[in-house]
Amino acid sequence: MEQLLNTIANYKKEMADFTAVDEKQAEDFRIKYLGTKGIVKAVMGEMKHVPAEQKKEAGQLLNEFKQFAEQRFQQLQEAVGSQSATAASLIDLSLPGDTLPMGSRHPVVLMRNRIVSIFQRLGFAVAEGPEIEDDWHNFGALNLPAHHPARDMQDTFYVQQNPDWVLRTHTSSVQIREMEKGKLPIRMLMPGRVYRNETISARSHCFFHQVEGLYIDENVSFADLKQTLYFFVKEMYGKDVKVRFRPSYFPFTEPSAEMDVSCFICGGSGCNVCKKTGWVEILGCGMVHPNVLSNCNIDPQKYSGFAFGMGIERPAMLKYGVNDLRLFSENDVRFLKQFTTAI
Ligand code: DAH
């Protein structure tokens, strides 16, 4: 009897401590204690060892033990059942869904897409190249051999581990990569980020973005260059905008020019943006230098081409009324979310 009492007390404690968080665990309890091979059955089997005169008392104890197990099972079932009932009552299926906050495109991306889409209509495809470049693609092949004074025009970041590597100073390096592929004709647009060692201020930054254009085929002339850029300017700034070319110098083009458009802020009468001149400079361009073609194994006797390069930040600043270049790279959400609806 004493042994039986002990066993029952131990199992009761064990059952009282048993917890269940879901139906599966409640079922585990049932199988362990109330199943056909369960503990309650096993303990009931002890009855046969109890002396006859104590059988009545033991029978009561065992019945009570079985009831205890059944009650505990019921409690556990109710507990897991009521938990899922509570969870269900917390879900209100009639509530409207959460709206996701609207993302926005970066103003530099918006301007890049605008520029790219205009040239795409003329059949230009888009290409990209690495931002860490070797000296050959960024300078050498572009007709800027070592010690060429024009290298000073661009304050270059060199990679410490390898003096042959630079952070590209212009997207012109991608021209070389396209020409090297040897697939002609080429009609490519090459947007990307470029780096120059300049003091960061409202008007200059150590990185910014450019779009480069390249067209190589037989019989390409300066007239093609002008017509292509006229088309771009009219699409970009409107039919009434005036255009002028000024002779300029770039080592990779000959002849070279810079293109101005009549100031789209004041219409040419003179304002702060055009510094009272009535003109805004928007890009550099020219006929690809024969040396550059030769450097890329393209026969300059057979092929000719034009190239141009323009910054993206400046037109973006003018279009969206941004007066500080640094805003573009600070990731201030208050600034960025203003472009949610811009196209
Ligand atoms: N690479 C020049 C720069 O960063 C821009 C440029 C000028 C690109 C004339 C060209 C070009 O392709 O023909 O200032």
Look at residue 319 in the predicted model and tell me its pLDDT: 85
Look at residue 331 in the predicted model and tell me its pLDDT: 92
Distance of CA 140 to the CA centre of its chain: 33
* 315 CB within 6 A, ligand 1: no
The alpha carbon of 32 and the centre of ligand 1 are apart by a number of angstroms equal to: 81
**Closest-lying ligand 1 atom to the alpha carbon of residue 169:** 4
Rounded average pLDDT over 60-79? 93
| pLDDT exceeds cutoff 90 at 98 | no
| pLDDT exceeds cutoff 80 at 82 | no
Domain 107-339 in CATH 3.30.930.10? The answer is: yes
| pLDDT exceeds cutoff 90 at 104 | no
The alpha carbon of 331 and the centre of ligand 1 are apart by a number of angstroms equal to: 28
pLDDT tens for residues 106-155?
999 999 999 999 999 999 999 999 999 999 999 999 999 888 877 776 78
The alpha carbon of 284 and the centre of ligand 1 are apart by a number of angstroms equal to: 5
pLDDT tens for residues 277-289?
999 999 999 999 9
Query: How far, CA to CA in Å, does 176 sit from each of 78, 136, 190?
Result: 75, 9, 11
pLDDT tens for residues 217-266?
999 999 999 999 999 999 999 999 999 999 999 999 999 999 999 988 88
Q: How far apart are CA 115 and CA 108, in angstroms?
A: 11
* 228 CB within 6 A, ligand 1: no
The alpha carbon of 20 and the centre of ligand 1 are apart by a number of angstroms equal to: 72
**Verdict on whether the full-model pTM lies above 0.75:** no
Q: How crowded is residue 231: how many other Cβ atoms within 10 Å of its Cβ? A: 14
* 286 CB within 6 A, ligand 1: yes
Alpha carbon nearest to ligand 1 atom 2, residue: 309
340 vs 334, residue with greater confidence: 334
